[in-house]
Structure 1
């Protein structure tokens, strides 16, 4: 029983159990840490008394239906934002998902609530401090049988592995003998319980997650009784990313917690892409481009090197849109951006300035003749005809170029000079200008 109790108390999400009267019967340490309300403070109280969010009709109706029927529900942060106010952060930018499911304990139906923080890891540190301490016995009015904790334990969405430390004759850790494992672990790693239970983790199981580096880390932390935390580990054969947490649970036992963070990492990448890149061309957006140039100028100032900033304008782009339509114009922009990225060196970068204009930053220019070579190469590449669904379009480009530090020391000064030189280049009907 202590295993499952301690597991529930140390999960990095809110775990609440309510009965058919909607009274709170279990309230884990995460909830106590977030709300400053201990389990003794809330036990027996209605869920909507402690957490006012659940006074809303949608939740009350859902809970009462679930008590009668075996159902699961998911409430997303996108619609509901948050369900619990953090004592340190209040309602500021909190985003929480809520998973609710019906479970049966001793022929009575209860609702298991999992409140999952999707805003970051600001609560994790406090929770991890308690992992290596001795867990207190929980006195509750609800049946304290191991069955209750086992059922709760099995419904947690994180994978859990409970092991016994096996030592060699020298007292060093030789292996970890698997004593128990939950459904989430088995489902994630696609393995049957009978194939893993009572086997030694490192020597009897050839599983891709337990590579030598991780094994050495687990042994080291288990021997020292320290908490192991690996923020991000990619498993190629599953194409998933996990977070691994390990902590000592007693003199001769060690627990491993596995959290599938693939969706979180994918969401972070998507958000980063939206924040950093122009969605049509895949180049940096104007804001990020300028921020990157500012950093590069600081490096150039320190190293006393020259750089150039280019404003590139696609000639007669309005005529392309007017003649063929915006779809064809967008294709020309995308192909032109791809060509620009292929031409510039690794470490240099491009961005979209707006409309049919691009920005290009080239670092570490040795001499001015190199600028002409770069400019001609870009113009030559962009003059190659583009075939869009059988329609052949012949684009061209004009370049306005400014040189650091000759034309300015700041991004704005370089943009101003490059814009003037672009105007001169367009008067000449294409080409480039940097003088």
Structure 2
């Protein structure tokens, strides 16, 4: 691509100028060029008009010349004296010159014209032919005039040449006239064309003026109006308005400047409004702060960095009794009560220096001399360079509040009955003892004490006397401990002790013996004297456990181990106890699965009629065949089932298995056989014993109610509620007998036997095991048998293992016997075989 010429380059640069000055210059140049063009067009039109006028003038002169030549020829009088002469030649030369100018253009008669249009050239050819004819006639005529000797007039009018000259002249005149008429017509057409061109030029000028107006309006007047409107808006205070001018000229630059200015002014006004609003808020806050400062109930004191008082509020004067004039300029130690050691204030000042803040309780003295506790909060205010400007103290009189808190604290941490620390306080002290032991390296002992059979004391003497006994127990335990030891009551009849700084574990044992002896001494109550014992569990930190939770748990396990060993003794925790607990946990976890998978089976032990030796009854005893632990004792899983609530589905399972098996035995072997089913007190307490359901189940199996005996314990009678009594009565109304199991081991009274309409008494095997003639157990058995018969009850003796026991019980009048002498508990199939054998 070739490079542009310098002229074109500068022209394009000029067209690209966008300033108003350059636009005005460009507009002026365009207007000047338009005016010059109009002038040139008009001049061109005028020249064309003048040219046609000159052409017509030359054609007219040619016509005139042709006539003049003819007239001059006719006017010649003397043919002898006359000759063509120079005049004729000049006229003829002018005519021929004019004809040539018309044909080719040029100057004739001092007029310069172009050649006639091509359309008229044919007419010039006609004029030229007529001129040649005319010129020939003239020549002939002149030749005749000079040769004849006749008068001139006769020669002319009579000569044929004359007629020929006249005809040629007429022909020339007509052609010339035709040319003139054609030129005039062409001139008129040219004039119309010029007019059309003038109209076109006028229309173009109008369009150019309209375009110029639109450009002026768009680029000048409209921006000016927008600037004027924008200025009026700014004058009215509307600084958010913005100009929308996209041009790059002075208007665009001005709009951008005005937009920037208005935006800046708007931002300034917005900042000013915000500052004014903040100032108003600050004023409101300042007034509010002043009101708070004057009316707040807490005292406020402002000191300088050195602690000199600068200002106090009215509440300060009300709390301390000192007016502002009395305090300003003085130091705060003026209020000192003298209760705090120097180290207290040294630590306060050090914390202020380090953090700039301090809060805490401090004893002050009122102007009247009364001492009071104030809760003080001190905050430091700093300058920009980090130095302290002032310190602000906020305080209130909390004397009564602290007194109440101390009361509440003691109530929350001390037992109201014994005034010993309670469970919460014990846990706090235990944690402190652990931390102290870690620091000193000395172990300590945790002693868990539980009174044996304390519920019976409450039931016998009443809860008020039970509380008196607990107070005396607390005093005795405290007297047995050292000054450094701690005693607490966990609740109920449970006490716990922390024996600290032990050199060796054996140091605890004498204290435990002393506690056991002290607790077992008689207690003087208002209506009688009572005796009680306790079971004690011991665990050592850190030998047995290194945290409070496990240590307390192990002491508790040791205490229950002491109870299991016969009560009124202490027991030190061992890993075997932990293993036992783990086993209990495992069994509890497996208990539900055992129910779902039918791991529980029933064994049956016969109950023999002592006089006849016949089988009268069978007791259904549940057994757990564990896949890992083998045969699990009921003593291990029954308490778990009771605690977990699974005793309810387990009891239902036992009942349905026993009754279904009994139905088969009564049908096939012994229609008078009955089955005893043990019922746990938990089944009554958990509402898991549905008497209607059991009675319906018996009816479905076609079993009478008398075929079933429900065995209950003395604990159920002692803890029974009204609904328990009602359910037992429903069983008796259905014919089901009620047997009281393990009689003699509890505290049941004859009133229970009467109230619950017991049918059978079962003597506990502990009385039968060592039964001998004239023994205490024998006397007890006779008394139970005699009393039961007098009440109309039947008696079953448990645990008969030898013939001598059988004979002694038979001699005492016992009705039934049960024990290994007859058969151990066996499976249903084995019991079936046993029945068949003894039936034979």
- The TM-score normalised by the length of structure 1 is 0.49
Which protein has the larger Cα radius of gyration, Structure 1 or Structure 2? 2
Q: Which has the higher strand share?
A: 1
Does 1 or 2 have the higher relative contact order (CA < 8 Å, sep 6+)?
A: 1
Q: Which has the higher helix share?
A: 2
